[in-house]
Structure 1
Amino acid sequence: MNETLLTVDGRPMLRIERRLAHPPEKVWRAVTEPAELSQWFPATVEMELEVGAKVSFDMGDGEGPSVDGTIVELDRPRVFAFTWVDDLLRWELRPHDDGCLLVFTHTFDDRFGAASFASGWRQCLDALDLVVAGQPVRHERPSAELHDSLVTAFGLDEGTVEATPDGWRLRFERQLTQPAESVWKLLVSDEADALAVGGAVPAGFTVADVRPGAVTAVERPTMLEYSWYVDGDDAPADTTGPSGAAGPVGVAEPSDVAGTVRWELTTGTGHGARLILSQTGSDGAAAARSRALAAWRSRIDRLAAQLRGMAD
């Protein structure tokens, strides 16, 4: 299997190649006939096989929810493509030795969902191979280990920095493999009872290179925001907690506050919660920016590893 994340016409596109030991005509039936397609595709499908025809996807075995699409390309037995709401799915079958090469592309908008999509499609294409071979299919949850390896392969673990009228903002967005409640419990640990606006920040939400001030906003179990401040000439704090996190250090004086750190756990792809972590800073705290970018990337990687462990 070969997964690649591209950008085509401004949209993310996942491209997967797989060699199958079956001729194109045989694979074509599994890709285009609803009775076979529904065995390995992530929905039950109903359609008439012609360009412009409606495609109905039932995600609940006849009990909904359901969505629609349209067949947009059809070249028997070579190319088949249809929309799924706003996404575009396309299969191309190329003769190869005694079998064929399947080239599958999925064009979508949620770039940070790409690892979830890729791990899910790998599982679907494994099932496709079994269907064509006449073997039984077992549907299982995609591997958290595979998911996070694709996050790294696609560069989705990297943060961004942008200029703002007040200085700068760094931002990470990452699909996680556990729901928000589980992530929150892990981050708060045994400090849940003490968590309150104006109080100290639980160690799980911090890194040693960003000295926390006071909690400024909290919505359990989806959001925590706090102020941060510089220590001397942008020197990092030297008090650390578990997994490289800085321990609670009290409340910064207002004159020391350099910006805010905000953790948000939002709805993701269904694989788990979507983490959006941002930090703002003034131009006067620019020296801390690069350290923070590296520290947060490492912290989120450790968090992802802990969540993978919970799935075992």
Structure 2
Amino acid sequence: MTTPDSSTRSVVVEKEFPHPPEKVWRALTESSLIEQWLMKNDFQPVAGHSFSLRMDPVPNWNGVIDCQVLVVEPLRTLSYTWGTLGMESIVLFTLTPTPAGTHVRMEQSGFRPDQEDNYKGAQYGWQKFMGGLERVVAGLE
């Protein structure tokens, strides 16, 4: 995997969750919860673990995203690769406790200039996914 450089772009979504980092972390790292806000998966929060995110296939795409866990710092940082349709990028979640709950920052980096459709799709998709994440976290005990 190539490291993103100055010729690549990132999608960044930041949101304040009125919940403690422990709840947000569960939703980011428990496979059954990830399925509720992102996609079906075989995720494990272990650095080096290879996993897939899966959705129903659509024309010109089999619906599979190949990933590998890069960083797991409980309650703070989660990062993994995201590879699909000839594109390789890195997803990074950063959790910061706040007086009201948790600031969640998601960055997907590595979009090359010739990947405009992927970049726009990620901008749309992560807004939707983060809304789903918030709903899942709100439903946790």
TM range, smaller chain: 0.7 to 0.9
Match of 1:105 in 2: 107
The structural deviation recorded for 1:29 is 0.4
Calculate percent identity across the aligned residue pairs: 25
1:142-161 per-position Cα deviation (integer Å, ceiling 9, x unaligned) = xxxxxxxxxxxxxxxxxxxx
**When the two structures are aligned, how many residues end up with a matched partner?**
126
With normalisation by structure 2, the TM-score equals: 0.80
Q: Give SS of 2:48's match.
A: coil
Structure 1 counterpart of 2:68, from 70, 91, 100? 70
The structural deviation recorded for 1:66 is 2.6
Between the aligned partners of 1:44 and 1:10, the Cα distance in structure 2 is: 32
Gaps of 5+ in 1: 1-6, 136-312
Match of 1:134 in 2: 139
Identify which of structures 1 and 2 has the higher relative contact order when contacts are C-alpha pairs closer than 8 Å and 6+ apart.
2
Between the aligned partners of 1:89 and 1:14, the Cα distance in structure 2 is: 9
The structural deviation recorded for 1:56 is 1.4
Match of 1:170 in 2: none
Match of 1:57 in 2: 53
Between the aligned partners of 1:126 and 1:65, the Cα distance in structure 2 is: 21
Structure 1 counterpart of 2:29, from 32, 38, 41? 32
With normalisation by structure 1, the TM-score equals: 0.38
Match of 1:121 in 2: 126
Structure 1 counterpart of 2:78, from 77, 80, 83? 80
Between the aligned partners of 1:49 and 1:114, the Cα distance in structure 2 is: 26
Query: 1:254-293 maps to which residues of 2 (within 5 A)?
Result: none
1:91-124 per-position Cα deviation (integer Å, ceiling 9, x unaligned) = 0100011301001001133235433321221111
Match of 1:282 in 2: none
Pick the structure with more strand per residue.
2
Between the aligned partners of 1:83 and 1:77, the Cα distance in structure 2 is: 19
Between the aligned partners of 1:78 and 1:91, the Cα distance in structure 2 is: 8
Pick the structure with more helix per residue.
1
Query: 1:219-234 maps to which residues of 2 (within 5 A)?
Result: none
Query: 1:146-295 maps to which residues of 2 (within 5 A)?
Result: none
Note the aligned Cα RMSD (angstroms): 2.0
Structure 1 moving runs of 4+ over 4 Å: none
Larger Rg: 1
Q: Give SS of 2:75's match.
A: coil
Give the conservation status (yes or no) of the 8 Å contact 2:15–2:104: yes
Between the aligned partners of 2:121 and 2:45, the Cα distance in structure 1 is: 29
Give the letter for the 2:89 counterpart. Answer: D
